[in-house]
Structure 1
């Protein structure tokens, strides 16, 4: 009979598996603590995963061999049918032998051990997989924190700073704020970009500022011969959705290195009670540009961030003739001057709408000019320049407070 030697080989294979598992469970000798790099941790995690796969495959092969042995033992049935096919002649010459009674019990014991080992390997594999997922999440958090730390640099971002491989859309501008201070000021942050200019800064870029009564936040400063201007809005490629709620327009959204809206509350804090100047830069799809500049005053949230303009411009943009002001409106906060229509819902985005048809620099971005006029009026437009039904290609809005500019 040839069954017993095969069962013995399976037992040796099973014992090897048990030895490998016990080696995995043996504690390693203590080593001096050190900080492992991400690459080292990643290699270790992948190595454990490969080990788990190998152990599981090994157990599956062993279990298959045991199942085959059990089938053959069942086929023996106490007869000499256990002989190999090539030994038919030899078995007829030998007296019949019976299967040892202990063989099925030993086989069942081996199967029980294999099942237990398979369960342990499966648990190990699951733990390693969970640890790998945890490490990947930690790496994403580290990358996010590193990106935010880079944005908190106290000096303007130079060309040497690596740009992200893909665009990141920040839900709120508040995420860019932080406790970092500019090197140029020892005791406090500048109130605005104009104060930075007055302190000798001539390089445009991202800076931390802190207007009076406000926490610090990050702004994009543009330094010109007229002083320092704070960029409050930019449209250039449609990468950010400007059809946002009142809360989003209040706090700000987007990326100040690309498309963004600084936030009504921040704009109000920068301009202060004295107001200042608003500059608007427009560009059409033929490469033509237009620049406008006029004095403004922006109220607080209790006034729906109403924008007060000089009389001629106020009339041009649809403001009332009483106080020459335009309240800000969004789809969920209807403050426009039309009682029977919600301009933000009818058009798109949030804006100082007035009567819907004069301007909207926060409208829907179109990469090509739509054919249908109802669709075109949802776009970015400034009626007195290219008309209500011409969606502009790019816009930039900048402010400079009056008090800071007086020097």
Structure 2
């Protein structure tokens, strides 16, 4: 009979939990405190454990009572006091009834907790999808607050008050207004909505970073649509997006800078002229003959070569019998599958298998096809700025 107080206590605890989850008082609710997802997960996990614990306790107590009832039934005529036996049996039946009620409540609470857990998971997924946009909104506000007043001062008070401020077209235009600090800025190329970019200010002007990799935190094996609009974190690893790059470059000739780093701490920096076509050309990268040869062009006209962009779901590479993006990894301006791929698979250590290594990040003319690089950065800048510097 010692199981009865424990069952009663479990019933009280279960009822209290139900009250916390479903009760609504007439008083107006207090302003919500937004807990972190870790706190929400801990709470949800604790509630689920409570439900499991109650169920186990009830089933254990019920087993003990059943065993006692069987023992009393076996006693039968051997018991000298029929009234005592009858009283014990009555108490056991009452306990069984309470146990059944408690089991029903526990099952009800378990279903409620399962639903709450599913809601939490759904909310986490929705917040995860909204987080990049929320971050972009916060960073945009910060960029306006920290950068735009400084640019307005450079333009002069008359210009600032006579007409609304115009956002810069790219990082080079920011540089020309006097900005010398690298970081996140909002720009608006001609014919494009505003968007956030990461600028690198150097002695020869402002560069717009269009790709950065250094820790493998972002998966670059993405389809065409992702490479078109961009993905990743501007403060970490990211691909800016082919459509945004094309809007920055426009009809202007530009130069492309590629910064490479190996696992021994060595670095290499390359710069070459380029022009980028629109989506109707598969965002073709137009290069001069010497540069095109380094990127795998087997035959190059004197005027250069046009390398279209390829992904595993849209094959535009120059390798007729193979889809380079599917064979290797990531999207890239593939000439063939063996000269360069800065969006390949990220390896935190150099794989032993040669076939695996060629799927990594490589630039053949520097460290070779089978050396997966540790970090890369790709930047663009208008050629006019280069000539003027």
- The separation in 2 between residues aligned to 1:358 and 1:10, in whole angstroms, is 75
Larger Rg: 1
Name 2:307's counterpart in structure 1: 326
Residue 122, structure 1, aligned to residue 107, structure 2: yes
1:130 CA displacement: 3.9
Deviations 1:55-107, CA, capped at 9 Å, x for gaps: 65775576456535633553454x4x335xxxxxxxxxxxx756787875675
Residue 33, structure 1, aligned to residue 36, structure 2: no
- The separation in 1 between residues aligned to 2:287 and 2:50, in whole angstroms, is 71
Instruction: Tell me, yes or no, if the aligned pair for 2:289 and 2:302 is still in contact at 8 Å.
Output: no
Alignment of 1:13-92 (within 5 A): 30-37=26-33, 38=35, 59-60=58-59, 63=62, 66-67=65-66, 70-71=69-70, 73-77=72-76, 79=77, 81-82=78-79
- The separation in 2 between residues aligned to 1:358 and 1:20, in whole angstroms, is 67
Gaps of 5+ in 2: 153-163
Alignment of 1:221-370 (within 5 A): 221-317=199-295, 318=297, 320-321=300-301, 324=304, 325-367=306-348
Where 2:186 maps in the other structure, the secondary structure is strand
Q: TM-score, normalised by structure 2?
A: 0.71
1:203 CA displacement: 2.0
Where 2:271 maps in the other structure, the secondary structure is strand
1:301 CA displacement: 1.2
Q: TM-score, normalised by structure 1?
A: 0.69
Alignment of 1:154-173 (within 5 A): 154=140
Instruction: Tell me, yes or no, if the aligned pair for 1:308 and 1:323 is still in contact at 8 Å.
Output: no
- The separation in 2 between residues aligned to 1:357 and 1:41, in whole angstroms, is 48
1:300 CA displacement: 0.7
More helix by share: 2
Instruction: Tell me, yes or no, if the aligned pair for 2:205 and 2:385 is still in contact at 8 Å.
Output: no
Taking a change above 3 Å as real, the CA distance of residues 180 and 320 of structure 1, as seen in their structure-2 partners, is farther
Report how many residues are paired. 365
Instruction: Tell me, yes or no, if the aligned pair for 1:154 and 1:181 is still in contact at 8 Å.
Output: no
Taking a change above 3 Å as real, the CA distance of residues 261 and 154 of structure 1, as seen in their structure-2 partners, is closer
Residue 111, structure 1, aligned to residue 96, structure 2: yes
- The separation in 2 between residues aligned to 1:281 and 1:51, in whole angstroms, is 54
Single out whichever of 258-267 and 110-119 deviates more from structure 2: 110-119
Deviations 1:110-164, CA, capped at 9 Å, x for gaps: 533431232123312442454356457646766875675344323779xxxxxxx
1:271 CA displacement: 0.5
Taking a change above 3 Å as real, the CA distance of residues 126 and 226 of structure 1, as seen in their structure-2 partners, is same
1:269 CA displacement: 1.1
1:153 corresponds, among 120, 139, 147, to 139
Gaps of 5+ in 1: 1-5, 84-95, 158-178
Where 1:321 maps in the other structure, the secondary structure is coil
Taking a change above 3 Å as real, the CA distance of residues 64 and 229 of structure 1, as seen in their structure-2 partners, is same
Where 2:140 maps in the other structure, the secondary structure is coil
